[in-house]
Structure 1
Amino acid sequence: MRAGVARDLLTELSAPLTRRGCLTHIEERPRRAGRQGSFPEWTDPRLVEALAGRGITAPWIHQEQAARLAHDGQDVVIATATASGKSLGYQLPALTAIGARELDIRAPRATALYLAPTKALAADQLTNLQALADQAGLRDVRAAVYDGDTPTEQRRWIRRHGTFVLTNPDMLHFGILPGHEQWAHFLRALRYIVVDECHTYRGVFGSHVAMVLRRLRRVAAHYRAEPTVVLASATTANPEISASRLIGRDVVAVTEDGSPRAGLTIGLWEPGTVARVDGRGDPAAWEEPDGDGGAPAVDADAPAGDEEAPARREDPVRRAATTEAAGLLADLVQRDVQTLVFTRSRRGAELVASGARRLLEQKAQQTDGPGLVERASRIAAYRGGYLARERRALEDSLRSGELRALASTNALELGIDIAGLDAVVVAGWPGTRASLWQQFGRAGRSQEADAGALALFVAREDPLDTYVVHHPESLFGVEVEAAVFDPANPYVMTPHLCAAASELAIRDGEEEIFGPTARELLTTLARRGVLRARASGWYWTLSESAHDLTDLRGSGGEPVRIVEQATGSLLGTVDAASAHTQVHDGAVYIHQGRSFVVDHLDVDQAVAFVHREDPLHSTHPQSASTLRIRQVEREAPWKDGVRLCFGTVEVTDQVTGYQVRDVYTQAVLAQHPLDLPPRTLTTKAVWWTLPRELTEGAGIDAEELPGALHAAEHAAISMLPLLATCDRWDIGGLSAAHHEDTEAPTIFVYDGAPGGAGFAERGADDAAAWVRATADMIAACPCAAGCPACVVSPKCGNGNEPLSKPGAATLLGLLRQE
């Protein structure tokens, strides 16, 4: 797409009567020329020649700086924009080291290990890496992906002969470190560890990866290897601090981006109200709520799922972001603009793709245009849960241009590198500014002089989304968040200490690599009989695998397989933590645009049996929650008798039933009970307690108080992602007019991960700014009684009752510190 065309296209998209007023802000990012350095003198000449054949006659300045630091043995993090060529920063030193023996037999052997957060990213990197090595004639570069999709025979070959192995933290934990003896040949020569997209390692997942990397360093040291770590990150705050915490030693940051940048036109888009939308038929006829099956909680916003359940309200309802994104996608594909749509959930991806196809097919009937039918067939969905062969086929089709559009979850945020992608549509806040810019960066990857691209952020009817589209200053010119995670989380560290001891006995003094609390935890484990303490250190003695104690991604256990009962075919999987809410008995499940109904969820066998059906209803799980305070770690006076606390809490949540709603009207048709076991979570929380006399003095009587607390809790949860690298679905909350542990009106916000993920603590650290943004958001919302753009929550098991927006505004005024 030529520069300037993107803005014209944006104006054209917003021109119809049905979309008048949707575009709230346009931002232009001009094209930027690149700044080149020079290839380091030690670079393999064959590599320089191969790169020249690709038109790369010199590296960008950040690539050169990172490569030189890594070659000198300095751990380094490259934190520059999407498509800035970070890969070359580690490829230059790694490929040069691996190929050195071909030029000089006296050179030491060298290997490299690459870690990616997604399979798609590792597969794409393999393609690019192997092509470069082949073009340069580097015969010793034997690159291969080693992950869950790798056949057994190929795994054996990789262990024996691989010199550049690409994998992920999960496979490193489950498949490489436990059997490190089989990797001895590779580990003895390990020169570089590459940690790509390291900004994604946040929360409890980041804490787990930090422990895995420490274990890798320890095992490498056992084989007398001291590999240099090269990390690549999207632009983020204080990347050297986050990277240092991730690997456990000091890291130097390279942040000056020398790459050229194509022009990018960015639009912030707020969908119109349903009442104003015409010309597309009844959107409810094909639309589902944004989301992927959630877990609402009684008197709580629980982080167990990600359903955007519509709530009852008197104010005009805005079109769902998925509906708007489907319409925009249809219009873009009609104009032959290759587009990638990011959605918040698996269900959202399916609905955007099927909705866009349906709209184009309807237009084809109206205009008798066969070309539109053909273009509709070139739109697909992409998400986790698909089988590997489905994902690879979709990636190849998008790369070749055969597919004109994909609607994807964030599975492609860090995935394949595509040239010529014209537009990106982000349907709903992706969780952090870093993720939003990463997704925007999928567009405009061409470095042609006149290249331009379009990026659109489409707001959900959600407090944070609404705040962003009406406060562009919160997005543009603001530093992105720093990654938040806690490597010292005992719930994370404890199983990793067991895994480390089973890999190699932890000798006295070696425990320091895991952190200052490791010794205390090792002593506790020995006292419990899990480890055996000897004068020389700690040993794993149990018969079961220590590695099975750890769930890196916090999914809560074995993934649940989704099986079509009639044929026995495997449709996909869903993580264990979401299974109770997404594939419970009677749930409607969508796969590649087709609907299935769950006949039975077998919790013990981790399998859900489904049958094909197109019901005219959707299902929405309901749950109940309780919270108990286990330990107050910090407590401080706030103002006027209010106290701010932080500590450990225990949250018990149980899916108790589900509602059946009409797909057209969202009217509740029925409610069915479920008999599922409760799930208990011990985690960290931040909470405020307010004296009853203070709330009464402000005019909040006993009848209004529960609704005021509940609404303030919803609003606070929705705004915390502005401060921490969390998503609304990473945290939960609960409020009570009289909590049994505090004996006072209380608002809790807690991390949705065992032991905590650092989000609640971040809120406690910057509570004044958090309260201020929450109060401002409620005050700015024009609704009278509360709506999804301020205090109505998409995951409230109480049906958003009781809620008092005026009471919440008054309550937050009591908490606000000027």
Structure 2
Amino acid sequence: MPDWCPMSPNPHSQEDLLDRLLAAHGRPDRVTHVRRIPPRGGRPAAWPEWARPEVVDAFRAAGIDHPWEHQARAASAAASGRSVVLATGTASGKSMAYLLPVLTALLEGTRAPNGRGATALYLSPAKALAADQVRAVDELRAAGTGLDRVRAAAYDGDTPAELRQWVRAQASYVLTNPDMLHRSLLPAHRTWSAFLKTLKYVVVDECHTYRGVFGSHVAQVLRRLRRICRRYGADPVFVLASATVSDPAAAAARLIGAAPGDVEAVTEDASPRGGLTFALWEPPLTDLKGERGAPVRRTATAETADLLTDLVVDGVRTVAFVRSRRGAEVVRVIARDRLERIDAKLADRVATYRSGYLAAERRDLERALHDGSLLGVAATTALELGVDVSGLDAVLMAGYPGTRASLWQQAGRAGRAGQDALAVLVARDDPLDTFLVHHPEALFDRPVEATVLDPDNPYVLAPHLCAAAAELPLEEADLPLFGPVAAELLPGLERRGLLRRRATGWYWTSRERATDLTDIRGSAGQAVRVVEEDTGRVLGTVDAAAAHSAVHQGAVHLHQGETYIVRLLDLEDDVALVRRAAPDWTTTAREKTDIRILEEVRAEDWGPGRLCFGSVEVTSRVVSYQRRRIATGQVLGEHKLDLPERSLRTRAVWWTVTPDQVAEAGLEEADLPGAAHAAEHASIGLLPLFATCDRWDIGGVSTALHPDTALPTVFVYDGHAGGAGFAERAYATAAHWLTATMEAIASCECESGCPSCVQSPKCGNGNFPLDKTGAIRLLATLLRGRP
């Protein structure tokens, strides 16, 4: 059911839901803060005069009598020929805002010389979202009688070959993703010429997800699309839909390659909204001791699984967002196991939703989500986007999702039909989550972040210039579209033999596909297939970049609630062979990392110390893995691995201190490695508050004596080739960032360091050595010299 349809009221009071969770199993002290967001009424608007009556009738037949003010304003801007970004809350009806002008255009009687009417292209970051939108259009067609000429079809990796030809030749509304645009549609643009010549609108849904390196790649793919459209005489209007972000007009303009003034932003949400009770929840400390004797807090995964179980038993439709594929599977395993002992029928109504599943599995899950047969879902961010899951009562979040924009996007999945809802953020045992649940103002009283992307990143831009030249020879007149760095990169591409310059422009001359030069999602190679050894059944895939740590020999792999052990990782054939098992532990890979400075781009003195930003080369290798008890995180043992090294050229921020500063901090030479290491961990954990990144987007290295600086040095680097803007943002906000880091360590209640302050879940050295007190002293000494 589309998100514009009315729904029955929520039978559960938001206060009742939270009270029942707190009362169960002795949990009264686990909530650190409750924020109640009151309901709001809607502001309706009249149907625009330009809208086709058939389209208006279809919406009315689907149960909507009028648009809201923000929908009418955004739709009218697009209909007038102006690109627009609609940045409003989850379930505010963004899809209707773009469908109104799109469907109206598709019904217009004007025809191009090729006989084809107007066309529209829809782009989303996930296949499930495109499939959901096709279903929404089909329901509108079924509700009304005037939309027969609208032919909507998905075009993605799951589309059969025989259907693809029909889509190219007949579909008027094609729904796809940036990956297919990059690898299929643009390289084969001549076979799409009839569609492209009449392209009226390009819808970019969930555009806030296009950030970092992925967003930079998508920005260049959209520039290639605009260039091809111009060659065919089309100049489509862009309609972008976004979660609430800071400065959406500038972000949208940067994404599509337009001037900021050329994109209108609609940000005031006029849709009605039910009340939301938002609770911050901290799992309790256990009696167990972890690494180096630190207390072990119950994992967010186990805590979330218990809460999901209790809500499902109460008949509360709930989605639990978990930060990793494995974590989502673990939540499902624990919840189903508990439900089996309570009511076996309920156990069958809990499932996992994540990327990496086969197409048929995804479609079955989407149908079950859509019709309500699933009562509880453990999901990754694949479900954070606008896939319609109507009628949810509660949302659980196992760990801060990385940005305030994502936090509100996930929380907004509940109460989508106007009913009251509950959202619970369950803190992981790390510095950032601990800081946030005890400083609610950082979540509730600060604006959402701006979307950060850098289309001029040469590691991103260079392969897209090659792809553009392969599509059509690259001319001087094309270069401004690709940005100011494009002209600087072309001579290097010529020297490398990738492009050849002739009188009419630059040509791609290789027999290889230019699009194979880059993977826009940064997976850095062929995805690894996960194959059940005994049956030969392909369970799914794992990105190449994650394979060394996710499906190494001995790793625990979860799929649809079933547990497997990886028997062999074959990197030559990109296959991981697995066997079914039932361990009560999970695995965590450990990595060794070295770093060298390539170029210092900017620097400033902080008294005797120094803060720098520049280019580095990071060399890393997965060296071992730990087995950890699922429920407690307790380490059971460590096992060596023999995997190849991988290198990454990227951007980093780093700071140094002098021997005199070390002495001023009261640190002995033997204390320095632990102090720097602890400061590095905590600064990585706090950076997502200041840069639009996730902890797993960045890495760090600390050393008591780095060969390139000859001083104690702490590095924090972007985990993407060429950089993603995170380290640069860290450099710009270093005084605030490092002050918050020092305060977070100092305010932690532990004695010698724990996961809530200086221990890291991704440390390659087993969180040793770490010196909590030394880190506070070292950061205080550095900060005294800041400008």
Query: TM-score with structure 1 length normalisation?
Result: 0.92
SS where residue 112 of structure 1 aligns? strand
Query: For residues 157-198 of structure 1, what are the alpha-carbon distances to aligned partners after superposition, in whole Å with 9 as ceiling and x for unaligned?
Result: 000001100000001001100100000000000010010000
Aligned to 1:537: 505
Contact 2:14/2:277, CA 8 A, preserved across alignment: yes
Contact 1:311/1:788, CA 8 A, preserved across alignment: no
Query: For residues 223-275 of structure 1, what are the alpha-carbon distances to aligned partners after superposition, in whole Å with 9 as ceiling and x for unaligned?
Result: 00000111110000111111111011032211111111111111111111224
* Aligned ranges 1:596-611 → 2 under 5 Å: 596-611=564-579
Q: Which amino acid aligns with 1:680?
A: S
Query: For residues 690-747 of structure 1, what are the alpha-carbon distances to aligned partners after superposition, in whole Å with 9 as ceiling and x for unaligned?
Result: 1111111220111111111100000000001001110000000001111000111111
Aligned to 1:375: 346
Residue 228 of structure 1, aligned match among 231, 237, 258: 237
* Per-residue deviation, 1:104: 13
Aligned to 2:698: 731
Query: How many Å separate the matches in 2 of 1:381 and 1:813?
Result: 45
Query: How many Å separate the matches in 2 of 1:119 and 1:720?
Result: 31
Unmatched tracts of structure 2, length 5 or more: 1-8
Does residue 686 (structure 1) correspond to residue 695 (structure 2)? The answer is: no
Q: Percent identity at matched positions? A: 56
Query: For residues 373-428 of structure 1, what are the alpha-carbon distances to aligned partners after superposition, in whole Å with 9 as ceiling and x for unaligned?
Result: 21122111111111111111112112212111110111100042122111110111
* Aligned ranges 1:568-607 → 2 under 5 Å: 568-607=536-575
Contact 2:592/2:623, CA 8 A, preserved across alignment: yes
Aligned to 2:531: 563
Against the structure 1 CA distance between its residues 3 and 617, is the aligned structure 2 distance closer, same or farther, given a 3 Å change threshold? closer
Against the structure 1 CA distance between its residues 203 and 340, is the aligned structure 2 distance closer, same or farther, given a 3 Å change threshold? same
SS where residue 634 of structure 1 aligns? strand
Aligned to 1:194: 203
Contact 2:340/2:346, CA 8 A, preserved across alignment: no
Aligned to 1:118: 126
Aligned to 1:358: 337
Query: How many Å separate the matches in 2 of 1:201 and 1:17?
Result: 41
Q: Which amino acid aligns with 2:55?
A: L
Query: For residues 125-183 of structure 1, what are the alpha-carbon distances to aligned partners after superposition, in whole Å with 9 as ceiling and x for unaligned?
Result: 11112222343322221000000000001101000001100000001001100100000
Moved more, 46-55 or 129-138: 129-138
* Per-residue deviation, 1:665: 7.5
Query: How many Å separate the matches in 1 of 2:111 and 2:718?
Result: 54
Aligned to 2:395: 424
Query: How many Å separate the matches in 2 of 1:535 and 1:133?
Result: 51
Does residue 743 (structure 1) correspond to residue 710 (structure 2)? The answer is: yes
Query: For residues 445-501 of structure 1, what are the alpha-carbon distances to aligned partners after superposition, in whole Å with 9 as ceiling and x for unaligned?
Result: 113xxx211111111111111111111111113100111111110000010000000
Contact 1:398/1:405, CA 8 A, preserved across alignment: no
Does residue 242 (structure 1) correspond to residue 251 (structure 2)? The answer is: yes
Aligned to 1:323: 302
* Aligned ranges 1:235-314 → 2 under 5 Å: 235-250=244-259, 251-275=263-287, 311-314=290-293
Query: How many Å separate the matches in 2 of 1:561 and 1:698?
Result: 51
Query: For residues 737-758 of structure 1, what are the alpha-carbon distances to aligned partners after superposition, in whole Å with 9 as ceiling and x for unaligned?
Result: 1100011111100000000000
Against the structure 1 CA distance between its residues 273 and 34, is the aligned structure 2 distance closer, same or farther, given a 3 Å change threshold? same
* Aligned ranges 1:64-79 → 2 under 5 Å: 64-79=72-87
Does residue 455 (structure 1) correspond to residue 423 (structure 2)? The answer is: yes
Query: How many Å separate the matches in 2 of 1:628 and 1:166?
Result: 44
Aligned to 2:385: 414
Unmatched tracts of structure 1, length 5 or more: 276-283, 285-309, 365-371
Against the structure 1 CA distance between its residues 111 and 532, is the aligned structure 2 distance closer, same or farther, given a 3 Å change threshold? same
* Per-residue deviation, 1:218: 0.3
Does residue 169 (structure 1) correspond to residue 178 (structure 2)? The answer is: yes
SS where residue 573 of structure 1 aligns? strand
Does residue 813 (structure 1) correspond to residue 780 (structure 2)? The answer is: yes
Aligned to 2:33: 25
Residue 702 of structure 1, aligned match among 669, 674, 677: 669
Q: Which amino acid aligns with 1:409?
A: T
SS where residue 426 of structure 1 aligns? strand
Does residue 501 (structure 1) correspond to residue 472 (structure 2)? The answer is: no
Query: TM-score with structure 2 length normalisation?
Result: 0.96
Contact 1:311/1:792, CA 8 A, preserved across alignment: no
* Per-residue deviation, 1:56: 2.0
Contact 2:319/2:396, CA 8 A, preserved across alignment: yes
Q: Which amino acid aligns with 1:574?
A: V
Aligned to 1:612: 580
* Per-residue deviation, 1:360: 2.2
| Larger RCO of the pair (alpha carbons < 8 Å, separation 6+) | 1
Contact 1:648/1:682, CA 8 A, preserved across alignment: yes
* Per-residue deviation, 1:656: 2.2
* Per-residue deviation, 1:775: 1.4
Aligned to 1:790: 757
SS where residue 274 of structure 1 aligns? strand
Query: How many Å separate the matches in 2 of 1:257 and 1:335?
Result: 32
Aligned to 1:295: none
* Per-residue deviation, 1:509: 2.1
Aligned to 2:315: 336
- Total equivalences in the alignment: 773
SS where residue 109 of structure 1 aligns? coil
Query: How many Å separate the matches in 2 of 1:435 and 1:346?
Result: 17
Query: How many Å separate the matches in 2 of 1:750 and 1:52?
Result: 52
Query: How many Å separate the matches in 2 of 1:554 and 1:470?
Result: 35
Does residue 768 (structure 1) correspond to residue 735 (structure 2)? The answer is: yes
Aligned to 2:94: 86
Against the structure 1 CA distance between its residues 645 and 519, is the aligned structure 2 distance closer, same or farther, given a 3 Å change threshold? same
Query: How many Å separate the matches in 2 of 1:788 and 1:191?
Result: 52
Does residue 652 (structure 1) correspond to residue 619 (structure 2)? The answer is: yes
Query: How many Å separate the matches in 2 of 1:373 and 1:560?
Result: 35
Structure 1 vs Structure 2 CA RMSD = 1.9
* Per-residue deviation, 1:106: 14
SS where residue 614 of structure 2 aligns? strand
Aligned to 2:5: none
Query: How many Å separate the matches in 1 of 2:327 and 2:584?
Result: 18
Contact 1:433/1:475, CA 8 A, preserved across alignment: yes
Residue 149 of structure 1, aligned match among 136, 154, 158: 158
Contact 2:290/2:296, CA 8 A, preserved across alignment: no
Q: Which amino acid aligns with 2:683?
A: A
Query: For residues 97-123 of structure 1, what are the alpha-carbon distances to aligned partners after superposition, in whole Å with 9 as ceiling and x for unaligned?
Result: 110118999998211000000111111
* Per-residue deviation, 1:587: 1.8
* Per-residue deviation, 1:790: 0.4
SS where residue 108 of structure 2 aligns? helix
Query: How many Å separate the matches in 2 of 1:674 and 1:733?
Result: 22
Contact 2:590/2:766, CA 8 A, preserved across alignment: no
SS where residue 250 of structure 2 aligns? helix
Aligned to 2:324: 345
* Per-residue deviation, 1:633: 0.4
Query: How many Å separate the matches in 2 of 1:18 and 1:725?
Result: 37
Query: How many Å separate the matches in 1 of 2:629 and 2:445?
Result: 44
Aligned to 1:181: 190
Contact 1:118/1:415, CA 8 A, preserved across alignment: no
